[in-house]
Amino acid sequence: MLKLAIVVNEPPPYRIPVFNLIARHPEISLQVIFCCRREPNRLWDLPPITFDHVFLRERIRTVRGRYIHNNPDVLLALSRFKPDVVLGNGFNPTHLYAFAWTRLMRRAYIAMTDGTLKSEKSLGALHVRLRRYVYQRAEAFIAASQGGLALYRSYNVPAARCFLSCLAVDNARFYPQALGIEKPWDFIFTGRLEAGKQPEFAMDVALQCARRLGRPLTLLYVGSGSEEDALRNRAKTLEHQLHVHFHGFATQSELPELYRAAKIFLFPTQADVWGVVANEACAAGLPVIVSPHAGVADELIIDGHNGYVRPLDIQAWTDCGLDLLENADRLRVMGERSLLLVKPYCFESAAKGIIDAAIAAREVLSDYASVSRPV
């Protein structure tokens, strides 16, 4: 029996089903150690947790809008569970304590990241040195995307010790229940209504499409945030050209119907290491227009195949939107391709990547157990 501990910041809804699957593996004993129950900016509703888990005493600092977890009691939690392999999905102090524990106890460590070579280009020298130190000593590596594998290659991590564990949603829940139904929303934007997600850009695109078509269009916002009031005020001035509805925060059970009611998903983010909302849109059979700043660009969303990857240029996005709205066959075909492309992004595949990495990490450790390792 392989004892695996996973140290993560909080319970994410898209990873809980993966952990549930791992816990049911007959040769793995799993414990997930959470730094906190929920970070302050999260409104997630969570699926049932059926795996063994521990919540550490919350110790969170905010630095430049990011939450930093510093939980020394992770050392006690690990000592109680006595895992063979520890997986850490970040570089918060808590994860570094867990890494240090594996060095002292001669247990295997897996480094896991949702980041990509592109998303980490702006890291400072200290952060790069810290990653290089851990990566030179970890036994296995898990990335959520091809961009993450490219990141590991940039640190000269051997490809044989790298594994994929994709970010996924319950594709079956989003699957269109009927084909050819009338959809009330031309565009849908899902996510936090914050400047970095560019919700106003989505309104600009929908507005320009309406003006060029010479008829009113519809836009659905799903989410909440600091930009909501400004967006609502602007939408009131555009009612004769653009009908905008603000649904607000949506629970996981509400999301499938909302996506299925729309034709095109707009994802104009300025920075997303992946973008699980694109998984949701694809699973609902929508073409996606996305910026190159999302990890899904050119991986889950293939330009010209199931959507478009375009820089944040309103004219370029308007052209793409019109290309879909004025061509029902293209809209349908791209939506069908989204359904096909998202299929491999499933919980089972994500769980397999973690399981394979854990088994490989234990084997790597046993191969040089008698050899002095760098500390």
Query: Which CATH number fits the domain that encloses residue 193?
Result: 3.40.50.2000
Stated as kind and residue range, the H or E segment containing 317 is helix 314-325
Number of structural domains the chain divides into? 2
| Same domain membership, residue 328 and residue 197 | yes
Q: Which portions of the chain are predicted below pLDDT 50?
A: 370-371, 374-375
| Same domain membership, residue 207 and residue 153 | no
The per-residue pLDDT for range 60-86, each reduced to its tens digit, is 888 777 789 999 999 999 999 999 999
| Same domain membership, residue 95 and residue 161 | yes
In three-state form (DSSP H/G/I as H, E/B as E, the rest C), the secondary structure along 236-304 is: HHCCCCEEEEEEECCCCCCHHHHHHCEEEEEECCCCECCCHHHHHHHHCCCCEEECCCECCECCCECEC
| Same domain membership, residue 83 and residue 180 | no
The per-residue pLDDT for range 104-153, each reduced to its tens digit, is 999 999 999 999 998 998 899 999 999 999 999 999 999 999 999 999 99
Domain holding 27, by residue range, is: 2-168+346-367
| Same domain membership, residue 208 and residue 149 | no
Angstrom CA distances, 226 to 232, 251, 313, stand at 11, 19, 23
| Same domain membership, residue 163 and residue 121 | yes
The per-residue pLDDT for range 184-197, each reduced to its tens digit, is 999 999 999 999 99
| Same domain membership, residue 350 and residue 288 | no
| Same domain membership, residue 209 and residue 282 | yes
| Same domain membership, residue 357 and residue 280 | no
| Same domain membership, residue 153 and residue 251 | no
User: Is residue 149 assigned to a domain?
Assistant: yes
User: Is residue 372 assigned to a domain?
Assistant: no
The pLDDT assigned to 375 comes to 45
| Same domain membership, residue 124 and residue 17 | yes
Q: Amino acid letter at 96?
A: L
The label of the residue with tokens 């999301």 reads: 255
Distance CA 109, CA 358 (A): 9
| Same domain membership, residue 354 and residue 248 | no
| Contact status, residue 102 vs residue 81, Cβ threshold 8 Å | no
User: Is residue 375 assigned to a domain?
Assistant: no
The pLDDT assigned to 77 comes to 98
The pLDDT assigned to 368 comes to 55
Q: Coil, strand or helix: which one is 97? A: helix
